[in-house]
Chains A and B, each alone.
Chain A
Amino acid sequence: MRRFLLILIPYAWLLALFLVPFAIVFKMALSDIAVARPPYFPQFDWAEGIWVFLAELDFENFVWLTEDDLYWKAYLSSLKIAAISTLLALLVGYPMAYGMARAPEQWRPTLMMLVILPFWTSFLIRVYAWMGILSNEGFLNQFLLWTGVISAPLTILNTNWAVYIGIVYTYLPFMILPIYAALERMDGALIEAAEDLGCSRLSAFWLVTFPLSRPGVIAGSFLVFIPVLGEFVIPSLLGGSDTLMIGKVLWEEFFSNRDWPVASAVAVVLLLLLIVPIVLFQRNQQKQQEADR
């Protein structure tokens, strides 16, 4: 009985906060746009009964999604941006995590603090700060002009470059922390053994350190990749009108087009597409736990 109750809590949680909202969104995706409050049809009416209501639903909006290539383009473009950002975050984050793990023990808590510190400021304010830094009259251009590296201001804001900078900056801690955790647990004696057996420092890194940190790299990569795929705030503030991401398309469908049924259909499809990397991530975590046992 106690075991049943224990399981009940997470399932009730999932039901209330995931399945029920999903059912509402899915129902909306099967509705039609209408001039009404809220702006879709049919509304559930107790008097008419559930069957009349269900009969009015259809998959028209999903068909519409396949007919228009905008959604595929947006999804592929999101995949590309997410993949490149993950790679960049890994390239920047790995050396930082490595440095932290190799730092003297008494420094590590301080270094850890420094990684987490930006979270103390609102995410939105930090992205706005980047707007100030990257704009044509911004800090970065002023500085480069002053040093004489460039003679005319670089246009960075409102391009994909700005989006990459913003994403890598924002998600870097999610990459560093799991890699650091993996590296810190590593036994330093393994490196000594590798070097005793004739490895150079570089090959010791590739043959011993990196494979041992792989679980951290994979965890970090998923933690960056999955949220970036649906990212909306960073591309809309830092990106240009031509930065195409599925999160932005979803927003436009909802707020600019006021087409709630199509917006819901996009949301359902996005969720289904996101499940793939999430399942992969879960499986990786599970394998890891089994290996640790």
Chain B
Amino acid sequence: MSLKSVTLAAVAAASASAAFAEEVRVYNWSDYIDESLLAKFEEETGIKLIYDVFDSNELLETKMLAGGSGYDVVVPTGSFMARQIEAGAFQKLDPSKLSNLGNMWDTISTRTALYDPGNEYSINYMWGTTGIGSNAAKVKDALGEDAPVDSLALVFDPANMEKLAECGVYFLDAPDEIIPAALKYIGEDPNSQDVKIIAKAEAVLQAVRPYVQKFHSSEYINALANGEICVAVGWSGDILQARDRAAEAENGVEISYHAPKEGALMWFDQMAIPVDAPNPDAAHKFLNFMMDAHNMAAASNYVYYANGNKASQEFLEADVIEDPAIYPDAATLENLYIKEAYPIKAQRTATRLWTKVKSGT
């Protein structure tokens, strides 16, 4: 159990002692919020907040499609959410209950409308890129001075990976993000829905599979920070959190994040309310609370992800708003690509390919 979960448990225990008339259940990604916000929400609204975490979109989708999850607010990534909206998993938001909607940032809203036309079902929580985190000293030891830390070649060229295997490489356990990256590396369209194109990713991944120590979507934060591994393909803010944890621990580990120069996936995590949410009213209150400029800024300052809230930007710390790894400059933004949801056939090809690659068969 990480220190964070201990604090979470403590928050939960402390709040249990007070009497609450209502409760709201939130299901969010792990390591994805400043926990003091949870206590603040309870204090302001008098609603008991039950906060659970997950680390895979696939798992969340299973819960949403099965129904009866019992959650009032969930946070799927855009491409997954598009499919869940189609399946009827969410309810439309009631703008009259969301007085802070005006705070949202149109640059992001226009992009998220691709997944949720008119942003009727969701608000943006955070957005970021999928890229490469590396331990400067260890990568230099393995590959020399001019290691391509800002290129997909670092993780998809078997010659590099063979040398990196010694110091440890983790990949996200997320086929919908790694397959597009592999396609980008060989010059194919990362957003391709064509089964034949998707299948081309297999050879790229199989070639480096023997050198990947683990496929996991949350353990790499600590593994990078402790110096247990030297490279991780992961999410921007998570890697920046690893950088900060290492700096706090003063263990001499120096982590940096790069969005690959060939192009990086830009994703959007959206807050939405399940169609069968037990307490949609409280869910709206939670969304509105999170859209408050101060609260959203506090969350971003803590997790090192950019948010879709324009008004929050004046309260962001300089090392967040001014870091191009978090808020990319115009040139980098140009280089980012967006992925849509796979149709069913393509999804089966992608996930089957993923199982094959992971199990090494």
Contacts and interface: CB of A to CB of B under 8 A. Distances in A.
A279 B83 CA distance: 44
B65 A70 contact: no
The binding surface of chain A is classed by DSSP as loop
A36 B65 CA distance: 7
Given A35-B87, A37-B89, A255-B59, A244 B352 contact: no
Contacts of A242: 358-360
Contacts, number: 73
B56 interface: yes
A257 interface: yes
| Chain B interface main SS type | helix
Interface string B69-92: 000000000000001001111000
A249 B351 CA distance: 12
Contacts of A281: none
Interface string A83-101: 0000000000000000000
Contacts of A249: 355
Interface in A73-115: 73-74
Nearest to B216: A241
A258 B65 contact: yes
A36 B215 contact: no
Given A73-B361, A241-B215, A252-B355, A39 B58 contact: no
A37 B88 contact: yes
A73 B347 CA distance: 22
Contacts of A136: 228
Contacts of A221: none
Contacts of B355: 70, 249, 252, 256-257
A69 B61 CA distance: 27
B62 interface: yes
Interface residues of A, number: 26
B359 A259 contact: no
Contact of A158 (B214, B354, B360): B214
A62 interface: no
Nearest to A255: B62
A52 B207 CA distance: 48
Given A70-B356, A249-B355, A258-B58, A33 B65 contact: no
Interface string A204-216: 0000000000000
Contacts of B360: 241-242
Contacts of B344: 33-35
Contacts of B83: 35
A255 B214 contact: no
Interface centre among A35, A39, A69, A244 (most CB of B within 10 A): A35
- Chain B interface size, as a band, is 20 to 34
Interface in A22-75: 33-39, 68-70, 73-74
Contacts of A232: none
Interface in B155-201: 175
Interface in B21-78: 56, 58-59, 61-62, 64-67
Nearest to A249: B355
Nearest to B341: A35
Contacts of B65: 36-39, 258
A169 interface: no
Contact of B351 (A34, A36, A39, A259): A259
B348 interface: yes
A37 B215 contact: no
Contacts of A34: 344
A38 B215 contact: no
Contacts of B361: 69-70, 73, 244
Given A34-B344, A73-B361, A244-B361, A257 B351 contact: yes
B348 A244 contact: no
A138 interface: no
Contact of A258 (B61, B88, B212, B359): B61
A282 B256 CA distance: 60
A241 B359 contact: yes
Interface in B86-142: 86-89
A164 to B, nearest CB: 18
A189 B358 CA distance: 58
Given A241-B214, A241-B359, A256-B351, A36 B87 contact: yes
Given A39-B87, A244-B361, A33 B67 contact: no
Interface string A246-265: 00010010111111000000
Contacts of B86: 35
A35 B67 CA distance: 13
A252 B86 CA distance: 23
B358 A258 contact: no
Nearest to A262: B348
Instruction: Output the residue of A136, A240, A258 with the most chain B CB within 10 A.
Output: A258
B265 to A, nearest CB: 19
Nearest to A244: B359
Contacts of A252: 351, 355
A164 B359 CA distance: 18
Interface of B: 56, 58-59, 61-62, 64-67, 83, 86-89, 175, 212-215, 228, 344, 347-348, 351-352, 354-356, 358-361
7 contacts: A35-B86, A38-B67, A68-B352, A241-B358, A242-B358, A242-B359, A255-B62
Chain A to chain B: the 9 pairs with minimum beta-carbon distance, closest first: A257-B351, A242-B360, A39-B65, A256-B58, A241-B358, A35-B87, A244-B359, A255-B62, A36-B87
Given A244-B361, A256-B354, A259-B348, 19 more contacts: A35-B83, A36-B88, A38-B65, A39-B65, A68-B352, A70-B356, A70-B361, A74-B359, A136-B228, A241-B215, A242-B359, A249-B355, A254-B62, A255-B62, A256-B56, A256-B58, A256-B59, A257-B348, A258-B61
